[in-house]
Amino acid sequence: MLAITFAFLSTVLLHPSAESLAEVQWNASTRKVEVALRLRIADEQRLLQSVSSQSATVILADEAALERAGLSVIRRRIGFGKLNDLQSPTNTSKQPQGTEVAKRYQWIGRRSEGGHAWWFFEIATPSGRPTHLRCTLFEKPSDPQNRNDSSHDHLHAMPVSTFLILADAQPASDPPAERRSSSPRPNSMTLTPEHPISEIQWVVPAS
């Protein structure tokens, strides 16, 4: 997974409303979508507790529990595929994925970074490069009377999930310097609770 420069990260993370940031890369050789997802710690805790009766502290202290809970979150809330499949009533954050689809998700790991955490995972897409992305990590801003300590900073700010679509993974046989110099800039796309599905503009390196 290619790294993002600090300057570019800063431009998309300036305002304090609810946000997530993810790097997405298609790997044609494995037929998998590789994802690095950056969450605020408060949002990570809320998401983990939404799929488990255990506290986030207990989950994070147990690698196996974290993998189970993390996979449960992303299976429900992040999906890649065809538009019709992602619009299916059963394909929502309220419904767990079927066994066949669930097996396509692979947890790689987690890394802390100050007030944020990175989640790394892969999603197999046997039918090939997916055309659309669905993300329902966040709910619409709550009414002020119903807000709690985990609520986000701006009362009326619409939560945003930003995805950076990186250039396709290149063969490992290519020299590292050549892979870096030939990589085009990533595309950026944003999803919100009101618009949770979008077409993916993949970045295909020149052959």
Inside any domain, residue 110: yes
Strands 160-165 and 187-191: antiparallel
CA gap 105, 172 in Å, rounded: 23
136 falls within a domain? yes
Alpha carbon distance 64, 20 (integer Å): 24
Q: Is 207 within a domain?
A: no
Domain that residue 106 falls in: 18-141+156-199
Does 183 fall in a domain? yes
> How many folded domains does the chain comprise?
1
Query: Which residues, in sequence order, are CB contacts of 157 under 8 Å at separation 6+?
Result: 15, 17, 18, 141
Q: What pLDDT shows up at residue 92? A: 52
Q: What is the mean pLDDT of each run of 10 residues along the chain (207 residues)?
A: 44 59 96 97 96 97 98 96 83 60 94 97 95 93 52 62 94 56 85 96 85
**Is residue 70 assigned to a domain?**
yes
pTM: 0.80
- The reply to whether 104 falls in a domain is yes
> Looking at the domain assignment, is residue 108 inside a domain?
yes
**10 in any annotated domain:** no
pLDDT at 93: 53
The pLDDT of residue 146 is: 43
pLDDT of residue 3: 46
CA distance 159 to 152: 9
> Residue 60 phi/psi, 5° resolution?
-70, -20
What pLDDT shows up at residue 4? 44
